[in-house]
A and B are shown apart, each in its own frame.
Chain A
């Protein structure tokens, strides 16, 4: 086997997995803490990617999209939580599904009305448009490496935020045991707003980072959403660490599957999920029950 090719695929897989982590962590926290299913989480990723496309084509400075995606995500998440989702925490799953599916349709329609239905490539920023020689005969895209580093950095920030701050530990407690919020006498509203805003910002950031790698296209959020569901199922709902390891696992399996088993590539991650369900239906990394 071509070793440097394998090495590149593994790096690709890790980088893809880390992007999945940014999206799934929000998904799993939003469900864990608020008990709400947000199908529109994939749309946030899509919006982030289109934001990067617009910024890049207007200003040529892609890096500007990153802080804008984070700020825009925080604002969007807070607005959605306060304006809409807050009313749906106690409603049935069916209602939540239809609400968030409606949002997908509306976001996609808005995207189509403003920017059309074409595929758009987003150029890699000029300063990162080169390859880093890893071994004598193998070089790896600097932009992909940068994405890897940024994602790791964000993941680290999240772990620190959750482990080392008061509000972070409250969020973790709430995700593992929602009734804890009341028991600890915490301000549930503030926690909900925070979790939703941060989760949305992470998904938009992931979209902005992914734009030059994926190009941007209609419905791009959905394929990511469904893969992220697989991540959450494999990792266990409400567990950030679970989402992290599961995202890396799924990223690797999917990337390697596409590279080495192209005939059944689309099915591999689902077969993995089936295996996990047989073995541990509450997820590989579910907090002990």
Chain B
């Protein structure tokens, strides 16, 4: 997968700096919106490991986002983020393991349907049983900003900006980790599987195991993004697990470009921006969404990432 080249990385960092400086020039509403985009970008990035990394198109990825978000509700209130964030990743990864193990017995169209069905199963788990606090969602207590015993008391007034920085930091860390992962032997094997799975098997790769590991990592990363969503909004809802959210993330991936690791970040910001612009014109959000989906598929099959300067091909 294309990891952004030097100029591309510079542009991405410039974008990060602009977002980081928002507290000094943007309204609190826009801070919140930027946080939404950052968390969406994390979620789409985790999906990119599956789609762009190994050619696995999952329609159930939101389930792990939801599990990560519900971790905030299920864990006792008052814990620190240093505990809840790894716990959310762990829970989502644990949920992804059996789902992945079963789904990966299939490929292509079957894989898509099976991930969708299992995602829906997890949705029902939170929607229909008392486990998740009911189908209308519940408010949650935000975990404290405390790492290694250092408590950071954030006054209410500054909460939006601190969340923005935390989300930005996590997104950068996630991108850096995935970029490093794609440069390893494992990452190269994943790309080989995406290019031609049968051939990789004939070469001696246990492709199902490699894909399962990627699936679990992607699930855990989705859990992190879900956790940050719950923390930003202080609210969780079964809709977090719905397949609409999975489809949205797929759109962000496609909008940004499946050939580039940074594609989903551009895609997420473009998508959130478009949604925001659309509310100025019409109240019918689904109409706009539908038209955007349609336009992207029909007109932009390569995604936005092509607009950034090309980096080096990962597999060379």
What mask results when residues 94 to 108 of chain A are scored 1 for a CB within 8 Å of chain B, else 0?
A: 110111011111101
A95 touches B290 (CB 8 A): no
Main DSSP-derived SS at the A contact region? helix
- Cα-based distance from A102 to B298 in the complex (angstroms): 11
| Nearest CB of A to B112, in Å | 6
What mask results when residues 150 to 194 of chain A are scored 1 for a CB within 8 Å of chain B, else 0?
A: 000000000000000000000000000000000000000000000
Given the interface pairs A93-B57, A98-B250, A108-B286, the reply to whether A277 lies near B105 with Cβ below 8 Å is: yes
Which residues from 153 to 212 on chain B have a C-beta closer than 8 Å to any C-beta of chain A? none
With an 8 Å Cβ cutoff, the count of chain A residues facing the other chain is 39
Q: Which residues of chain A have a CB within 8 Å of any CB of chain B?
A: 31, 35, 37, 91-95, 97-99, 101-106, 108-109, 112-113, 226, 229-230, 232-233, 237, 263, 265-267, 270-271, 273-274, 277-278, 281-282
B297 touches A270 (CB 8 A): no
Given the interface pairs A37-B112, A233-B110, A263-B129, the reply to whether A98 lies near B117 with Cβ below 8 Å is: no
Contacts across chains A and B counted by CB atoms under 8 Å: 115
| Nearest CB of B to A286, in Å | 10
B125 touches A98 (CB 8 A): no
A226 touches B116 (CB 8 A): yes
Query: Closest 6 CB pairs between A and B?
Result: A105-B290, A102-B293, A266-B124, A270-B121, A281-B105, A229-B113
> B121 contacts which of A106, A232, A263, A267 (Cβ < 8 Å)?
A267
B293 touches A101 (CB 8 A): yes
Given the interface pairs A105-B286, A226-B120, the reply to whether A94 lies near B51 with Cβ below 8 Å is: yes
Note all chain B residues with C-beta closer than 8 A to A102.
289-291, 293-294, 297
B297 touches A106 (CB 8 A): no
Given the interface pairs A98-B250, A98-B293, the reply to whether A277 lies near B286 with Cβ below 8 Å is: no
- Cα-based distance from A102 to B120 in the complex (angstroms): 19
Among B59, B254, B290, which residue has the most Cβ atoms of chain A within 10 A? B290
- Cα-based distance from A270 to B116 in the complex (angstroms): 11
Among B102, B103, B121, B291, which residue has the most Cβ atoms of chain A within 10 A? B121
B106 touches A281 (CB 8 A): yes
- Cα-based distance from A92 to B109 in the complex (angstroms): 10
A94 touches B286 (CB 8 A): no
Note all chain B residues with C-beta closer than 8 A to A108.
286
B291 touches A106 (CB 8 A): yes
Residue of B whose beta carbon sits closest to that of A113:
B284
Note all chain B residues with C-beta closer than 8 A to A230.
113, 117
Note all chain B residues with C-beta closer than 8 A to A232.
113
Which residues from 89 to 130 on chain B have a C-beta closer than 8 Å to any C-beta of chain A? 102-103, 105-106, 108-110, 112-114, 116-118, 120-121, 124-125, 127-129
- Cα-based distance from A106 to B295 in the complex (angstroms): 13
What are 27 inter-chain pairs, A to B, with CB distance below 8 A? A93-B57, A93-B108, A93-B109, A94-B250, A95-B301, A97-B112, A98-B296, A102-B294, A105-B290, A106-B290, A109-B284, A112-B284, A112-B286, A113-B284, A226-B243, A229-B113, A230-B117, A233-B106, A233-B117, A237-B109, A237-B110, A267-B124, A267-B125, A273-B117, A277-B103, A277-B105, A282-B110
- Cα-based distance from A263 to B128 in the complex (angstroms): 8
Note all chain A residues with C-beta closer than 8 A to B103.
277
> B289 contacts which of A105, A113, A271, A281 (Cβ < 8 Å)?
A105
Residue of A whose beta carbon sits closest to that of B102:
A277
* Chain B interface category by residue count: 35 or more
Contacts A94-B51, A270-B121, A271-B121 given; 16 further ones with Cβ under 8 A?
A37-B112, A93-B109, A94-B253, A98-B293, A99-B297, A101-B293, A102-B294, A106-B294, A112-B284, A226-B243, A233-B106, A263-B129, A267-B125, A273-B117, A277-B103, A281-B110
Q: Is B258 an interface residue (CB 8 A)?
A: yes
Note all chain A residues with C-beta closer than 8 A to B243.
226
Q: Is B19 an interface residue (CB 8 A)?
A: no
- Cα-based distance from A170 to B47 in the complex (angstroms): 39
Note all chain A residues with C-beta closer than 8 A to B247.
97-98, 101
| Nearest CB of A to B17, in Å | 32
Among A92, A113, A263, which residue has the most Cβ atoms of chain B within 10 A? A92
Q: Is B277 an interface residue (CB 8 A)?
A: no
Given the interface pairs A95-B297, A97-B59, A226-B120, the reply to whether A105 lies near B287 with Cβ below 8 Å is: yes
| Nearest CB of B to A277, in Å | 5
Note all chain A residues with C-beta closer than 8 A to B121.
266-267, 270-271
B251 touches A98 (CB 8 A): yes
Residue of B whose beta carbon sits closest to that of A27:
B113
A31 touches B294 (CB 8 A): no
B290 touches A103 (CB 8 A): yes
- Cα-based distance from A278 to B102 in the complex (angstroms): 7
Note all chain B residues with C-beta closer than 8 A to A95.
254, 297, 301
| Nearest CB of A to B257, in Å | 11
B117 touches A226 (CB 8 A): yes
| Nearest CB of A to B196, in Å | 15
| Nearest CB of B to A263, in Å | 7
Note all chain B residues with C-beta closer than 8 A to A97.
57, 59, 112, 247, 250
| Nearest CB of B to A116, in Å | 13
What mask results when residues 47 to 79 of chain B are scored 1 for a CB within 8 Å of chain A, else 0?
A: 000010000010100000000000000000000
